Amino acid sequence: MNSRFKWTILASSTCVVVLLLIGARTGRAVGPDDVYGHLKVYTEVLERIKLEYVEEPDMKSVTLGAINGLLESVDPFASYLNADQYRQYEKTQDSAKAGVGLILAKRYGYVAVVDALPGSPAEQASITTGDLIESINGIATRDMPLAYAEQLLRGDPNSAVDVTVLRLRSPEPQKITLHRAAVAFPQVVEKLLPEKVGYLHVTSLAANRIDEAKAKLQDLKKQGAKYIVLDLRHCSTGDPDKGVPLANLFLDTGEITALKGQKTAQTEFDAKSQDELWKGPLVVITDRATAGGAEIAAAALLDDKRAQIVGERSYGDASLRKTIQMEDGGAVILSIAKYYSPAGKAIQDTGVVPSVQLAENDNAPELDQDGNPIPGTAPKNTEDNLLKQSIDLVTGKTTLAQLTSGENTPTVTSNQPPILEKSSPRHPER
């Protein structure tokens, strides 16, 4: 084994040891024997690649791929940035004023789309939840650090960035040019629908959106709302802990969430009675792009038996992340604690599973080979099925049992809605 290869193994092994000592997916500390056992296998695999692969590999790329693969296996939102990437990342964080409006994670080694913010360049280009970004400005995202991908998408307003997208509904990768813009967080939308149903659509928990939601909910009460449908579809931005005051608008007691980590003191967040605004019937809508604080709120309202949830399983992104600087000048960005539902489930691991799982209507048009919408291919039925089912559930036109059994036109058997008032607070065992 030549000296250069020995140094490659030593450097990469050091990174692996550091990452292993941070902890595994279960949050259990890894003992020294476990570390050295894994390290022995890792070193042997590296040596076999070096000596027996069909051609001499670029060991730097092999090592970086191994590190990024290790991180993705425990945390889809983690990143390792080398010294140059970390310097660029910090600079971009401070100076970049525009982006394309994508919320990202890692899936299958690629950069995956959690959500495209409403009205953003990405949303206007029909990029959506579940799409994979194959390359950014010609740079493959396979094994690319997530934070570096986010950095590449940021820049000056009106500047262009090319992305190649793998879509679920298109067999071929599609190259799309996006023009960066200052992306604004959508405002809270409130409407009083027929039958005194108050509709509150919260698509962001950033900025002052919690205060907006509170004011809009007050408005609905003044307008005479008897029921509330809280729509959290595409709500993926804002600090995760913003889900606490959102849930508290509908709770006067009980646990909302708990933050737990291997080296993070456990913190419990309970509802405060003075912050509750709505005691009446409530249904929540979620989809695959519901993430972060919105998931925390949805999980609390479901587990505390305050609301039923209609829609799709949420994305699964509720953690406290930390930038850990390395001796080589690089950094690891890692989840150091997770938010748990009142039932004790790690939201980042499981997402939030609705009481009634229904898919969204696919109202998107078909795309040509260049990724452009084909005129006349959009479905004619644009009815919001999830909203309709939520209204029927909250007003008592249908029951939870009827929806979960798949009955399309349930018979009204009671004048009482399925959710009348808050249930007794839950006190799960620790």
Cβ contact 333:79 at 8 Å: yes
CATH architecture assigned to 189-319+336-405:
Alpha-Beta Complex (3.90)
Burial class (CB in 10 A: 0-12, 13-18, 19+), 36: exposed
CATH 2.30.42.10 residue window(s) in the chain: 83-179
Q: Which residue has the tokens 């002052």?
A: 208
Cβ contact 177:162 at 8 Å: yes
Distance CA 199, CA 219 (A): 11
Residue 180 vs residue 365, higher pLDDT: 180
Q: From start to end of 16-97, where are the E strands?
A: 79-81
CATH 3.90.226.10 residue window(s) in the chain: 189-319+336-405
Residue 32: is its pLDDT beyond 80? no
Q: For helices 32-52 and 59-74, what crossing angle results, to 10°?
A: 140
Q: For helices 3-22 and 32-52, what crossing angle results, to 10°?
A: 150
Kindly report whether the global pTM for this prediction surpasses the value 0.85.
no
Name the token pair of 110: 């690629």
Pick the closest to residue 140 from 152, 123, 122 (CA basis).
152
Weakest mean pLDDT among 7-16, 41-50, 200-209, 321-330: 7-16
| pLDDT at position 143 | 80
Query: Which SS3 state, helix, strand or coil, does residue 316 take?
Result: coil
| pLDDT at position 11 | 43
Residue 200: is its pLDDT beyond 60? yes
Residue 370 vs residue 158, higher pLDDT: 158
Q: What percent of the chain has pLDDT over 90?
A: 61
CATH architecture assigned to 83-179:
Roll (2.30)
pLDDT of 296-313, one tens digit each?
A: 999 999 999 999 999 999
Backbone angles phi, psi at 229, to 5 degrees: -110, 115
